[in-house]
Amino acid sequence: MSVFRSTRFDDNSTLAEIRDDPDTGTRKLQRGSDPKAVAAVQNALYDLHWAQRFPQENHYPSRLRFVDGDFGPVTAASALALKTRYNIRFPPDDPRGILDGFVGPRTLDRIDRQISHRDDMRVVIISKAGALQDADAPVRLFDEGEEPPPLTPWLGTGPYLYWWTNWDDPTGTVTGLIVAGAADDVFEVHGPILQTWWQAQGAGGPFGPATSDVEPDGSGGFRSTFVNGSISVDPSATVTVKLGPVAYQPPGDDAVFA
C-alpha cells in the first residue's frame, strides 16, 4: 500500500481508497463525495492556484468561498484545468481519452506531489523572508487565513509561487514576491521585473521559474534570471527581456514602467 507525500491527506479513508485504486475509474471525487475528502483537495487546489472563478465573478475566489466540502461545478472546473495542463486523460492508456473534472488516482497523485513540495518550501520561504527583514527590506508575510492583496494568480504556477511579500507600499499592494525556484531554492522578485514576469504568466509562462533574486546589474539597473531567460530594468525604468538566446519584447507599452 502506498502512502501520501503530504500530511494533509493522512487519515482520510476516502482519499486513501482513491490513491490505491489501479485507475479503474470507479474510485474518484465527484458530486456527493465525502465532504472532508473534498475539502482537503479543495484546500490543496486553492493553495496551488488552480481554483477557478465562480460564474459572474471576475476575481480569484476567497478560500472561504471555494473550500466548502461540496464537489460542485467550480471544483470540477478546477480539477479539469489541472488535468488539462498535465494531460491526465481516462482511460490512462488512451492518448485520445477524455478530460473530465473528476479527481481520480492520477489526479490525486499530481496534487499530492505538488502540495507536498509547496508545504515543504513554505518553511524555506519564511526563512528567506526573515533574512530580508533582517536586511531592512520591507517584507511582510501574510497569515494563513488572511487574504493577500489583489494579484491574479496564473493557473499552473502553484508549484512555484508560494508566499507573498510587501515591498514599499504600506497600503498592501503586492509589489514583490518570494517564489520557489525549479529546485529547493527560493528567490525574491519585485518591481518592474516582477510585473513583466507576472504578465508573462510567471513560472507557468515562457520564462519559467526564477533562478536568482533581483540583483544589481553593474550599470545602475537591476536584473533577474529565470530558467528560460532574463529580465532587466535600467535606471530610466525601461525593461529589457530575453527569452532563451532570442530577445523578447512584451507587446505594446508593457515593456516600460515609469
Residue with cell 515593456: 255
Cell of 235: 535606471
Query: What's the burial of 171, exposed, middle or buried (CB within 10 Å: 0-12/13-18/19+)?
Result: exposed
For residue 72, the model assigns a pLDDT of 98
Cis bond leading into 55, ω under 30°? no
pTM: 0.70
For residue 257, the model assigns a pLDDT of 26
d(CA 169, CA 79): 35
In 3-state terms, what secondary structure has residue 108?
helix
Please identify every stretch of the chain with a pLDDT value under 70, giving residue numbers as ranges. Answer: 1, 140-174, 245-258
Cβ neighbour number for residue 95 with a 10 Å cutoff: 7
For residue 204, the model assigns a pLDDT of 74
For residue 92, the model assigns a pLDDT of 92
Amino acid at 183: A
Q: Domain 7-112, what fold?
A: Muramoyl-pentapeptide Carboxypeptidase; domain 1 (1.10.101)
Task: Give the closest residue to 45 by CA, choosing from 66, 19, 20, 70.
Answer: 66
Q: Where in the chain is the domain with CATH 1.10.101?
A: 7-112
